[in-house]
Structure 1
């Protein structure tokens, strides 16, 4: 069943046409499970029960008929940092789940929960976002007395990520966590991305948005791991890897290729394969591998590695220690931005010639990597002496299959690796004699997401044992691999699995199921009678009572049979039959109208809509920015206020509900942020765009009233790629009489329209308080006649005629006057001192506030008016990081920033 909004006003074109069937004859795709909150994956137990994990940190269970149980298996949303591409990303059942109840979770750790859970400073509704954190793997046990439908209290065991230094570093908004999978030998496989962006050649530091410095200060990484994308090549780090750990202890296995007996929990000990960019989804081929962990053979691991813009890769790990080349390689060739740039040193590989006429203390990563070659690879030389070979180099592994990125690497082509006449690897296009796959389909895509092998009997014989591989662009292909994991054939299967992100097979019914960004579980079946699709249409769903509505069911359809019945239930005790019906609603209130359609064999589907009488939908306008504005790229991550003017003729503001959604669009796909239910919020805008790849942001606001009517408005902002349009001096200001006088000066302006003055009580909640027309280079003045008592944060947004904007500096102004306060030292090592020159009241208060605005420490001291005050403060068990502090002295307030770096 699908729920159709009763009223939606979209100020944009639809992103894509409605779902259409695009499958081989006899197959059909239907909506199977709805009512989910951003699901990212699904799996099944042997009885056919479906386990769906939601990004926010909840695992839902559906029975064999697709009905969701009311209670989740587990809810760890308080512990999960759910922002951008981070959240609960991986989940798997133990191979013996129906006997032992074990299951495993891979998620981004919320630092507030990590630091404060179990203390008075903990707030369950607080989540730290936009800060470096770690990925954690945890094992739980389902309670057998609940038929394994509830988690067993006290069964939690952290396998990886007990402390910040022990987890998978997450230093960027994307390319973080991937999948969990259990091999036939009972070991646990974990995939992880390189934790960087793609705004440039990231070889360390913060230049491209990677929060490396903050991560070092917080203890998430050590300085030697500040390598940018080269973390994928570094055995001292867990990024860009396939990890193999003991499902009981979390330690690396002795049969792992880089196991260190003295440090079984080290990154090297846990690494199985490396050199991966973003292996978001992995799948172990059935009936491969050993049943004994000591054999070091977990099976053939099929890895969907999302490309940087040129090539999407399907990599297959068949033996320990394989290196898939990122960032030195992408596809079958050198990744030139990194290949031509000087790589950082690998501090785990000292050069034995250092100090003997050699100034290279360590080998760099290119020194330690070589591509395979027919007849034997070339041994790389020591850069200090061509006669001394590198002892610890790695030989790369080529992708098993790759296809061009549809946006950035035309023309459309898919390739397999072959050797050229010189014995070097090159790509042979599918469909050519050189590939050995003549007649095969040629295709491209956006993001490689692995897939699933089909080992069941519901589909025809030709599909059994085949690999159903997935790309986020919306296709599913069927690939035939032999026992040596060599591609024999590939053909199309599904061409319109829109925004697909995960695929799995149900062992009980033999059907395929997938999840897309529409939040539904889809079922792909063969044979039988697919159900129809019901669709309610009407020109009007609200108005004054009595109200006559003309309903239209003509958009309902069936893919293989005629529809023979259209039954309407109007929610007021009245019913009707037919494609087009009219009904008059008489009493005030809202009515749920249900349409049920049936085909000639009795298969049914239903649709619902709300008709609301004596009610109108909310009037909504996003007022804090204009559609089409252009954000700056040279000011780091900025905060975009999300504020709207909302009015409802029948309901008070308190009765309305809000849903803000922000989407980062990247090439032909997008990354959604979690829903924000606050009436006012803000979006974090990263300085992405104007390189080879396309970025922009889309913000949606849906406001609903209690009667079931809602309005959705959509606005977009894009990167500004032009020349600077304003040159100005720093914003200045000070209390003056009953307000705060602000002024700024510009020395150059180009196409300037106006200046927007914004104010906030903290670094986040900026709101416009006034507008000043641009008059040309010179001095501008603004008077704030309504400042709050205490610290006010001001900034000016310069806006051009075409919507490009940039911010001034942020200015803090105390009102009516700032406290003569000193807080030192800063950064803080063990303690800091609060010093006040002359206190005004009889009590002085200090609050430390984390980056989400939650008070994490508060102290109050009695003082004597007119006296000086000085006090040493211990930060206690607070983790390293950036905090705000607020000091009150009577009506006076002082706000500042403090860095803990112990």
Structure 2
């Protein structure tokens, strides 16, 4: 929310990267005169905005607002233009429909369909289909007259949200067409009920066909208009998730209040190794998938003619010049058994179409040649392999000597490691070093920058042994002047018996409008504990530095971290976090520090209890109407008007069970006559303590309660 500890906001201000007004953190995505969190539409010749853009200023065509097409994105990592949409004339202001994969924060991933100018996709006020933890923080927009709050400029939608003036569309949240959760298999679309925004999970009555799923990094995808796949895939959208590594297919068609009509499984979770891009190849009707972790580009074909599989080999890969090499295509196959054609390029300007060519490489000194073999079938589908042939050079060797593979790093402090390797090259060539440290955390990786020193020193944070999976992967890659490479790697694991600085036995006990968080301090020496709290979702990263303000009042001045707040710092063993809302789940992460190094923290969550003296409105999800006590004593649903018969008190009468009392007459909600059968009436009656007057609130994964 601006001036956040551990960020480079001051450097950005000093160097003119940010205006002072833009020092509002993630809320820059909501400012039309900031490029952050936007989709831009520009003149490719000048870089200026296009005159038909929604916020175009003819006197300042280069201004940020003149270039903005849509706003409110966190990380629109990939987008594709849906074919046969839009108009070619820029003056018409209709470039077409964009299908946008917006990477979420802690809970939801989004697919946005940007079909109009000026749409506000909500971040950071909204994540997924509903308001997030930034909503209600009352941060003000310094670019707007009167400095209104950001949430006042992005209201929840109603069924009829369109405005003929594109510049006004930013005033309503344009909800994603589809969102899916990180932790639970819940995938939802937006819906409305009587003008009230609601959601529908896949597979529910009235929802699109499909099975709910989970993932944690929306990649976006490709619109398929080919005919190699079955006709049911034609003119549909393929999209992927980097974390879960699946590919799914969606039928998109705007009908009523929704875009998504069906979601189908295509490639299962774990199919690939870090999908970062999907592309449609119009030349052969296949899909291409880019895997960043394996360094592969995969071609995906469906039935019919399948691509061949190339195999390339050489009898020698290094030697002195002139070097005669016999290449082989043995093992290259076509799934249908058809004939194959071959093309070899040798990296020296020459080529061959033989299956098993012989080629001589010459060079005055050490040199590497990249040889590419391309195999094609009679349907013109292709596959390729590469080899490196090194002349006047032999392959180097490398072995990491420190740290040892399988070593355990301590959890009571930040650890310094000297990285050392024994690397040799028989030709005496100079070697280029590339070290990289990667922290593997659950199903994803945090890669540090590559270090090109031969013997660097690195610091490892004390993370692990908190119920989640961690290890460090340290890789050393050496390359000689001939282009030959050797690689070695070691893994380091957390030492759970090392006297961790992690707190223990963390508990969160709900109270009325509050939660009591308690813990046991680390057995090892530590300097302080930091507790952060956040609504609806957990934390991903660690604190940075020590400049934090703590306030146990959730509405107080605690320093912001990941959309939450610091509610405690010190050496005690508990804190009661107050001013929390009911019917909301709060996540609490308890970190410990030694020196400047924070551990990964331990996380718990709890839902505060209802205040016995407060009145509540009970709203049914499907209609948006409120539980109402009728004059006859029955409980019915009706439009909420603030009447006494629509206000209820919830009083806990035994562990987890409540009596629900109408405020106008003090009578309790009960099942008529204590009936056990389905369809029994619910009415009001004098409270007698019977079990038919006790209600348990069971929260589902979408934040609603079952009574």
Contact (CA 8 Å) 1:598, 1:604: kept in 2 or not? yes
- Higher alpha-carbon deviation: 280-289 or 500-509: 500-509
Q: Which residue does the alignment assign to 2:189?
A: 416
1:206 equivalent in alignment to 2:1:
no
Deviation at 1:246, TM superposition (A): 1.6
Partner of 2:143: helix, strand, or coil? Answer: strand
Q: Which residue does the alignment assign to 2:582?
A: none
1:619 equivalent in alignment to 2:399:
yes
**Which one of 193, 217, 220 corresponds to residue 450 of structure 1?**
220
CA distance in 2, matches of 1:221, 1:719: 43
Partner of 2:148: helix, strand, or coil? Answer: strand
TM-score by length of 1: 0.44
**Which one of 181, 199, 202 corresponds to residue 430 of structure 1?**
202
Deviation at 1:697, TM superposition (A): 5.2
Deviation at 1:624, TM superposition (A): 11
Q: Which residue does the alignment assign to 2:81?
A: 284
Q: Which residue does the alignment assign to 2:149?
A: 364
Q: Which residue does the alignment assign to 1:514?
A: 289
Deviation at 1:450, TM superposition (A): 1.3
* Aligned length, in residue pairs: 464
**Which one of 213, 218, 231 corresponds to residue 28 of structure 2?**
231
Q: Which residue does the alignment assign to 1:644?
A: 420
Contact (CA 8 Å) 1:259, 1:270: kept in 2 or not? yes
**Which one of 6, 13, 25 corresponds to residue 216 of structure 1?**
13
**Which one of 139, 142, 156 corresponds to residue 344 of structure 1?**
139
Q: Which residue does the alignment assign to 1:470?
A: 240
CA distance in 1, matches of 2:43, 2:107: 36
Q: Which residue does the alignment assign to 1:334?
A: 131
Deviation at 1:494, TM superposition (A): 2.6
Partner of 1:349: helix, strand, or coil? Answer: coil
Deviation at 1:465, TM superposition (A): 1.2
Deviation at 1:234, TM superposition (A): 1.4
Deviation at 1:302, TM superposition (A): 0.9
Q: Which residue does the alignment assign to 1:528?
A: 305
Deviation at 1:690, TM superposition (A): 11
Deviation at 1:254, TM superposition (A): 2.2
Q: Which residue does the alignment assign to 1:243?
A: 40
CA distance in 1, matches of 2:281, 2:89: 26
CA distance in 1, matches of 2:411, 2:336: 51
Q: Which residue does the alignment assign to 1:268?
A: 65
Once the two structures are superposed, residues 98-121 of structure 1 have per-residue CA deviations (whole angstroms, 9 ceiling, x without a partner) of xxxxxxxxxxxxxxxxxxxxxxxx
* CA 1:221–1:534: 2 relative to 1, 3 Å: same
Q: Which residue does the alignment assign to 2:570?
A: none
CA distance in 1, matches of 2:374, 2:88: 51
CA distance in 2, matches of 1:491, 1:243: 31
Partner of 1:370: helix, strand, or coil? Answer: coil
Deviation at 1:221, TM superposition (A): 0.6
Deviation at 1:233, TM superposition (A): 0.8
**Which one of 121, 124, 143 corresponds to residue 324 of structure 1?**
121
* CA 1:451–1:599: 2 relative to 1, 3 Å: closer
Contact (CA 8 Å) 1:260, 1:268: kept in 2 or not? yes
Once the two structures are superposed, residues 84-143 of structure 1 have per-residue CA deviations (whole angstroms, 9 ceiling, x without a partner) of xxxxxxxxxxxxxxxxxxxxxxxxxxxxxxxxxxxxxxxxxxxxxxxxxxxxxxxxxxxx
Contact (CA 8 Å) 1:532, 1:597: kept in 2 or not? no
What is the root-mean-square deviation of aligned Cα atoms in Å?
A: 5.1
Q: Which residue does the alignment assign to 1:59?
A: none
Contact (CA 8 Å) 1:660, 1:702: kept in 2 or not? yes
Deviation at 1:257, TM superposition (A): 1.4
CA distance in 2, matches of 1:300, 1:615: 51
Q: Which residue does the alignment assign to 1:502?
A: 277
Once the two structures are superposed, residues 258-277 of structure 1 have per-residue CA deviations (whole angstroms, 9 ceiling, x without a partner) of 12223222221211111111
* 1:623-702 correspondence runs (5 A): 623=403, 627-629=407-409, 643-646=419-422, 648=424, 655-663=430-438, 665=440, 668-670=443-445, 672=447, 675-681=450-456, 698-702=473-477
Partner of 1:348: helix, strand, or coil? Answer: coil
Contact (CA 8 Å) 2:307, 2:377: kept in 1 or not? no
* CA 1:220–1:632: 2 relative to 1, 3 Å: farther
Q: Which residue does the alignment assign to 2:173?
A: 396
Q: Which structure is higher in RCO with an 8 Å CA cutoff and minimum separation 6?
A: 1
**Which one of 488, 491, 502 corresponds to residue 712 of structure 1?**
488
* CA 1:322–1:604: 2 relative to 1, 3 Å: closer
CA distance in 2, matches of 1:705, 1:400: 51
CA distance in 1, matches of 2:453, 2:395: 23
* 1:513-592 correspondence runs (5 A): 513-517=288-292, 518-526=294-302, 527-532=304-309, 534=311, 560=335
Contact (CA 8 Å) 1:446, 1:669: kept in 2 or not? no
**Which one of 451, 459, 467 corresponds to residue 229 of structure 2?**
459
CA distance in 1, matches of 2:86, 2:495: 48
Partner of 1:350: helix, strand, or coil? Answer: coil
CA distance in 1, matches of 2:266, 2:119: 31
CA distance in 2, matches of 1:664, 1:416: 34
Structure 1 unaligned segments of length 5 or more: list them.
1-202, 352-361, 378-390, 543-552, 566-590, 726-747, 753-803, 809-902
* CA 1:561–1:258: 2 relative to 1, 3 Å: closer
* CA 1:719–1:279: 2 relative to 1, 3 Å: farther
CA distance in 1, matches of 2:466, 2:197: 29
Partner of 1:232: helix, strand, or coil? Answer: helix
TM-score by length of 2: 0.55
CA distance in 2, matches of 1:262, 1:613: 62
Partner of 1:216: helix, strand, or coil? Answer: helix
**Which one of 249, 255, 258 corresponds to residue 55 of structure 2?**
258
Partner of 1:488: helix, strand, or coil? Answer: strand
Deviation at 1:676, TM superposition (A): 4.1
Partner of 2:250: helix, strand, or coil? Answer: strand
CA distance in 1, matches of 2:38, 2:463: 26
* 1:101-116 correspondence runs (5 A): none
Contact (CA 8 Å) 1:562, 1:600: kept in 2 or not? no
Deviation at 1:423, TM superposition (A): 3.7
Contact (CA 8 Å) 2:120, 2:170: kept in 1 or not? no
Q: Which residue does the alignment assign to 1:99?
A: none
- Higher alpha-carbon deviation: 226-235 or 477-486: 477-486
